[in-house]
Amino acid sequence: MALHTWWTTFGTEVADTAGLIPVLARELASLAMAGALPGMTLIGLRQSTELGYAAVGLEVAVERPQDLAHPIRAIEQVAVVLPYAGGQPSIVSLREDFPDTLHQNWSPPGGPYALCIDDRPWAEARLTTSANDIARRIQLWLAKAARGELHDPAQPPDPLFFTSQLGLVLPQAALADTKEPGEVAGIVRPDNQNLIISRPADPSDRQPPAFTVLAFQAQPQTMARLRHAPDTLAALADELGKCGIRLMDELKNRLKAWAGLEHADVRRLASRLAVVVVFPVAEGQCRAVNDFRAFLTFDTAGEIGVALGVLCANNSKVGDKRAYMTAIPEGAPGNQPLRIEPAQVHFSLNRDLAAAIAGHATPDRRRAVLVGAGSLGSQLSVALAREGAFAWTISDDDFLLPHNLVRHALFVGDLGAPKAAALADTLAGLLDEPVDAIQCNVLTPAADCQTRLNTALTEAEVIIDASASVAVSRHLSDLPNAKARRVCAFFNPSGTSVVLLTENADRSLTLRDLEAQYHRLVLTDAALAGHLAASGPGVRYTGSCRALTNRIPASSAAILSALVAKGIVSALAEDEATITLWTLHPNGEVSRVQRRGAPVVHLDLGAWTIAYDAGLLDDLAAMRRAMLPNETGGVLLGIADMSRKSVHIAHALPAPEDSRASQTGFERGVVNLTEQVAAAVAATMHQLRYVGEWHSHPDCTSSMPSSVDLMQLRWLGHELENEGLPGLMAIAAQDDRFSFALSRPAKANTGDAQ
Amino acid sequence: MTAKLTFHPLGNADCTRFDLADGRKLLVDYADMRNSADSSDLRIDLPEELKADLRVAKRDYFDVALFTHLDDDHCCGSGDFFWLEHASKYQGEGRIKIKELWVPAAAILEDGLDDSARIIRQEARHRLKKGSGIRVFSRPTKLKEWLEKNGLTLESRAHLITDAGQYVPGFSTAGPERVQFFIHSPFGWRQNENEVVDRNQDSVVFQATFLEGARETNALFMSDINSDSIDQIVQTSKRHKNEDRLRWDVFKIPHHCSYLSIGPEKGEDETEPTADVKWLCEEQGQERCTMMSTSDTIPIKGSAEDRDVQPPHREAAAYYKRVAKMKDGAFKVTMDLPSASKPKPTTIQITNRGATLLTVSATVGAASVISTPARAG
């Protein structure tokens, strides 16, 4: 079967895996070459130094049912495309006729179809991404496509995922009547060139509107989805032709109708065009959902008319020089491609929203850096600022979009503004003090922000992480130069609880340590059952893969944010580390669970760091004692951070009921274990995973691994190899002596923890 | 729950577990082939694997254990694994009980057996005399004689006997189990003609028909029969207008991929099928079917294994692969799944989309394609 021409023309062939530049590409290719990826065969390696990408070609054996939902083949050829500089891999199908399924990304015209195997932002995904993980996700994606199970119940059936730098905020009114073109005036803020905020144009305005909106409705019956992002007007016309829209004919008719010397004619033809297409979503229970796509022209309507041969510029001495006349006879369309830029459509919200937060002032001048000016960050900082607290620096890289207004502390006047700057302005207004805004992502700050960010973090007395990002939280936790205590606050996904992790004053317990203890608390405290359960489908605010916002009522967000604001102040008044959860019950009651942080031990065992806390050791010791004189044991759950090569053991499960235990040995059983591990993984929203095994030694014996243990550890290493993890074994012995052993490399490294 | 068929990597030997929609568990053959003293032996520890599965299901028995015939590669180690009623020495703790034992008539009648084969024969004879917990396939004249010699009549045991061409009672696609079993072999008449038991040719061949939604999925279990016997089955089925009972979505390849189950001549690179085998494979196999060879890895041409007379035969595999390709299906080998370096049990799941050989879905820790963020802000 011929491979997609993209593959054969992409860069040059690479003979040896060692020649691949991206580390992940090398890993993936070597695993495939070694036959370590079941169902995957290497078909080639290519890379392009010019483009800065490497591609690993793979044949994937697909798990298929007999009756296919989509014509996925038993063997599919795909390429994993990886940037030299590291970053999110793209997966493209190497056949020209890859079927139209859900969960694909738009690709450039003529390019191969792109599978969306992972919709998480790269900063989050890289924590768990390994070559094995990529391989498995590709296989799962294809298996689900074959079964018709790609559809995520949390999302309405979606046309192809599409991300654009550009956003167009469009009033609904601009689309109200498709017979008369809607005219909108647009403004682009100097601090966010990528968002065009439009409002209905004022006909008396002498300035031409930014855009004239041409809205089209795609026919549901004939609807074929756009699979490539068109980059010229001609390409768009081709694509829309498949949806029953004759774009070029429509355009020519309208442009001819607009020709003339009248003021309105001149104004329209001097503006650019925004072609907005309404795609009815065809499948599933969300029939009423429309998907909006906008395509902005670079040229004005008049220039386009000239290029299409239907207009000519007003070269006569009569009338406005900017006017256009109908070309008679019609000329041939020019060859110059008319470039267009796709934009995400954001609709302006109705004005039925308000958030009133009551507060009272208490003075506190400590320097605080707030990372994440989202709903929680903005609300807690506004609440604290209203109490007169903290000299703030706000860091955030995002811009305020319409859907943010539901729970955010900022208002419609700041629409499109960088959240950091707008929030800083608001806080500054409350405090009547200047508040610094650093518009950056703390994980990847631009060079010009780096110094300011470093200074702010170094000088801070409190760092408040409200980013709702595990990646950011761990990054802040690890910052070497900052002395400030860190606190981290986030809502659970259903928005019924808020969590506050506070480091102790000497920082011997960091946010990373507390993260693991938080998960154990969630698993073991009956009051927290369902804490991390997802609440059902989110709300889509634009047509992209990640564009889901949680359904959390503003009132809950406000209550929980205010509780956290209070909690930060009281937690900082004490020196201990604490984990606090407030849960808002349907009857309006709020319950609180609070635990002191337990001391943590970090062990460097070769390439990996292992961490565990006193709470875990207490659990192990208690389970050991309960089974004496016999041995006992079970499964270890923990947080594995691939990018840091660290395993934080969070929780130990007791022995399954079919385990065989004696005074000299222990063999862990299997009854209910898969269910228990799956339940724990689900209860922590995939933050915890299986990381290894523990068992006890009887009285009067050492905690060091026996020869049987070492054999077992080797087996464990072998099993966990597929997960990209070392085998990990914990042993609990008499008098609270423990040892932890890792399988990798071949020789076991042991650390004795008294 | 939908039905699952789990095949175990045992080299050239068989053991397939049927997990039915109603939770019942059937075992088709049991051959514990692994040499535990040899650390390079990649064959699975079958008793451990089956016991772990039963522990998870909180039970100590199989609803049915079918021995298609009593060759070692289909019953080896049974005396150490099962709880058997005929002698107390097979009734220790940890043994696995069998509610209903299914055997071909030959397993009752054959003399001069050793080891596992003898143990299973004794158990089958015991149960047949007792009149419960047993099903015998076919009723050759010798079975009548055997019963009479033991003071019993064929009539008194008729309800425990199922002939070729009949469905096994107690299973229906309309019941909660949503499956039925149609018996193709053994034939009573052939056993009347032959003096000596020919185990392979008198082994149990059956079709399992699963119903999920409106989708029927058929699995054909061919035991160890050769092409002559397949020809007879095909001709008999056609004569009785039972062609549908030879349709298949899953094909347990006969005799560990031996060329003799396809045609009389091995062929240079591909065994040529007899007309009936060709019809069975090429006409009755369905789109995207799965052909499962319960065998060692298919040898490479010219290798020492290739020169071995024992199956699997490269030439036979070439024919099955061609059929699989024609059907956009798959030819798989138990010892190669999921990889030849680490073989593990393989499951075929039966759903309303037919049969799916699970590869990625079955892996531990399989990441979900879409993950929801665990924190909100």
Whole-number Å distance between alpha carbons of A348 and A403:
9
Comparing C-alpha atoms, which of B99, B108, B100 is closest to residue B154? B108
Q: How confident is the model at residue A362, as a pLDDT?
A: 55
First and final CA of chain A: distance in angstroms?
Answer: 62
Give contacts of A689 with chain B, Cβ < 8 Å: 365
Q: pTM for the whole thing?
A: 0.69
Q: How confident is the model at residue A745, as a pLDDT?
A: 53
Q: At what angle do helices A673-683 and A511-524 cross, to 10 degrees?
A: 120
Q: Is residue A154 part of a domain?
A: no
Give contacts of A140 with chain B, Cβ < 8 Å: 360-361, 366-369
Structure tokens, B193? 């003609």
CATH number, domain with residue A410? 3.40.50.720
* CB-based contact, A552 to chain B, within 8 Å: yes
Alpha-carbon distance values, A601 to A429, A482, A639, B281 (Å): 45, 21, 15, 63
Count the alpha carbons within 13 Å of B309 in the hemisphere toward its beta carbon: 0
Q: How confident is the model at residue B264, as a pLDDT?
A: 96
* CB-based contact, A500 to chain B, within 8 Å: no
Subunit contact A117:B353, Cβ cutoff 8 A: no
Give contacts of A375 with chain B, Cβ < 8 Å: 377
Q: Is residue A355 part of a domain?
A: no
Q: Is residue A38 part of a domain?
A: yes
Name residues whose C-beta falls within 8 Å of residue B196's C-beta, 6 or more positions apart in sequence: none
Same domain, A242 and A230: yes
Subunit contact A38:B355, Cβ cutoff 8 A: no
Structure tokens, B338? 């999921």
Pairing, β B4-7 against β A192-200: unpaired
Which of A62, A66, A690 is the mutation pick for testing B, counting most B CBs within 10 A?
Answer: A66
* CB-based contact, A468 to chain B, within 8 Å: yes
Task: Name residues of chain B where pLDDT drops below 70.
Answer: 361-377
Q: How confident is the model at residue A363, as a pLDDT?
A: 63
Chain B residue at shortest CA distance from A375: B377
Same domain, A675 and A731: yes
Q: How confident is the model at residue A221, as a pLDDT?
A: 42
Whole-number Å distance between alpha carbons of A175 and A258:
19
Residue type, A120: R
Tally A–B CB contacts below 8 A: 140
**Residue B35 CB: number of other CB atoms within 10 A?**
9
Whole-number Å distance between alpha carbons of A616 and A146:
43
* CB-based contact, A592 to chain B, within 8 Å: no
**Residue A508 CB: number of other CB atoms within 10 A?**
12
Q: Is residue A309 part of a domain?
A: yes
* CB-based contact, A614 to chain B, within 8 Å: no
Same domain, A531 and A444: yes
Subunit contact A722:B363, Cβ cutoff 8 A: yes
Whole-number Å distance between alpha carbons of A683 and A700:
38
How far A143 CA sits from the closest chain B CA (Å)?
8
Answer whether the bond into residue A445 is a cis peptide, omega within 30°. Answer: no
The total number of structural domains in chain A stands at: 4
- Span A516-537, pLDDT tens digits: 999 999 888 888 887 877 655 5
CB A277 within 8 A of CB A240: yes
Structure tokens, A146? 């074959």
Q: CA A267, A272, A274: angle at the middle one, nearest 5?
A: 120
How far A13 CA sits from the closest chain B CA (Å)?
28
* CB-based contact, A495 to chain B, within 8 Å: yes
Q: Is residue A432 part of a domain?
A: yes
Residue with tokens 């020789």: A747
**Residue B309 CB: number of other CB atoms within 10 A?**
7
Q: How confident is the model at residue A223, as a pLDDT?
A: 42
Domain boundary among A289, A317, A347: A347
- The domain ranges of chain B are 4-357
Give contacts of B367 with chain A, Cβ < 8 Å: 128, 133, 136-137, 140, 686
Name residues whose C-beta falls within 8 Å of residue A474's C-beta, 6 or more positions apart in sequence: A127, A511, A512, A515, A641, A644
Q: Which of A150, A375, A685 lies at the smallest CB-CB distance from B377?
A: A375
* Reported ipTM: 0.71
Give the total residue count for chain A: 754
Same domain, A189 and A294: yes
How far B110 CA sits from the closest chain A CA (Å)?
40
Chain B residue at shortest CA distance from A39: B338
Give contacts of A687 with chain B, Cβ < 8 Å: 374
Q: Provide the β-strand partners of residue B292.
A: B252, B332
Subunit contact A150:B360, Cβ cutoff 8 A: no
Same domain, A176 and A294: yes
Same domain, A114 and A205: no
Domain extent at residue A90: 5-147
Q: Which of A35, A133, A492 lies at the smallest CB-CB distance from B339?
A: A35
Same domain, A375 and A324: no
Q: Is residue A254 part of a domain?
A: yes
Q: At what angle do helices A470-478 and A511-524 cross, to 10 degrees?
A: 140
* CB-based contact, A519 to chain B, within 8 Å: no
Q: How confident is the model at residue A89, as a pLDDT?
A: 92
> DSSP 3-state assignment of A261?
coil
- Span A566-613, pLDDT tens digits: 999 899 999 999 999 999 998 989 999 999 999 999 998 888 999 999
Give contacts of B372 with chain A, Cβ < 8 Å: 154, 493, 534, 685
Q: What is the DSSP string of A150-173?
A: ---TTS---S-B---SEEEEE-GG
Q: Would you call B160 exposed, middle or buried from its count of C-beta atoms within 10 A (0-12, 13-18, 19+)?
A: middle
The alpha-helical segments, DSSP class H, found in A182-275 are: 233-241, 247-258, 263-269
Element (H, E) at A366: strand A364-371
Same domain, A527 and A619: no
CB A396 within 8 A of CB A439: yes
Same domain, A137 and A238: no
Domain boundary among A347, A382, A402: A347
Chain A residue at shortest CA distance from B347: A63
Residue type, B234: V
Domain boundary among A564, A596, A628: A596
Residue type, A248: M
Whole-number Å distance between alpha carbons of A414 and A405:
10
Same domain, A184 and A58: no
**259-318 in chain A: CB under 8 A from chain B:** none
First and final CA of chain B: distance in angstroms?
Answer: 38
Give contacts of A139 with chain B, Cβ < 8 Å: 359-360
Count the alpha carbons within 13 Å of B303 in the hemisphere toward its beta carbon: 10
Subunit contact B288:A39, Cβ cutoff 8 A: no
CATH number, domain with residue A677? 3.40.140.10
Which of B360, B361, B363, B368 is the mutation pick for testing A, counting most A CBs within 10 A?
Answer: B360
How far B247 CA sits from the closest chain A CA (Å)?
14
Name residues whose C-beta falls within 8 Å of residue A426's C-beta, 6 or more positions apart in sequence: A378, A382, A385, A409, A410, A414
Structure tokens, B75? 């019953």
Q: Which of B288, B354, B377 lies at the smallest CB-CB distance from A490?
A: B377
Subunit contact A65:B354, Cβ cutoff 8 A: yes
Same domain, A341 and A466: no
* CB-based contact, A678 to chain B, within 8 Å: no
**Residue B104 CB: number of other CB atoms within 10 A?**
29
Name residues whose C-beta falls within 8 Å of residue B229's C-beta, 6 or more positions apart in sequence: B185, B200, B201, B205
Q: How confident is the model at residue A748, as a pLDDT?
A: 40
Comparing C-alpha atoms, which of A469, A456, A471, A459 is closest to residue A424? A456
Residue with tokens 């039966």: B350
Subunit contact A39:B356, Cβ cutoff 8 A: no
Count the alpha carbons within 13 Å of A240 in the hemisphere toward its beta carbon: 27
Alpha-carbon distance values, A257 to A180, A233, A310 (Å): 11, 19, 10
Subunit contact B370:A469, Cβ cutoff 8 A: no
Q: Is residue A484 part of a domain?
A: yes
Alpha-carbon distance values, A265 to A215, A276, A301, A754 (Å): 19, 21, 10, 85
Same domain, A377 and A468: yes
For B4-357, CATH gives 3.60.15
Give contacts of A141 with chain B, Cβ < 8 Å: 369
Structure tokens, A603? 């062990």
Q: How confident is the model at residue A161, as a pLDDT?
A: 46
Residue type, B2: T
Q: Is residue A159 part of a domain?
A: no
Q: How confident is the model at residue A611, as a pLDDT?
A: 93
Q: How confident is the model at residue A751, as a pLDDT?
A: 44
* CB-based contact, A120 to chain B, within 8 Å: yes
How far A599 CA sits from the closest chain B CA (Å)?
25
Q: How confident is the model at residue A247, as a pLDDT?
A: 87
Whole-number Å distance between alpha carbons of A556 and A552:
7
Task: Name residues of chain A where pLDDT drops below 70.
Answer: 1, 151-164, 172-183, 201-203, 205-209, 219-228, 280-290, 347-363, 534-550, 744-754
Q: How confident is the model at residue A754, as a pLDDT?
A: 32
Evaluated on CA atoms A535, A536, A539, A544, the torsion sign reads positive
Q: How confident is the model at residue A211, as a pLDDT?
A: 78
Q: How confident is the model at residue A280, as a pLDDT?
A: 67
Subunit contact B377:A671, Cβ cutoff 8 A: no
Comparing C-alpha atoms, which of B150, B138, B227, B131 is closest to residue B188? B138
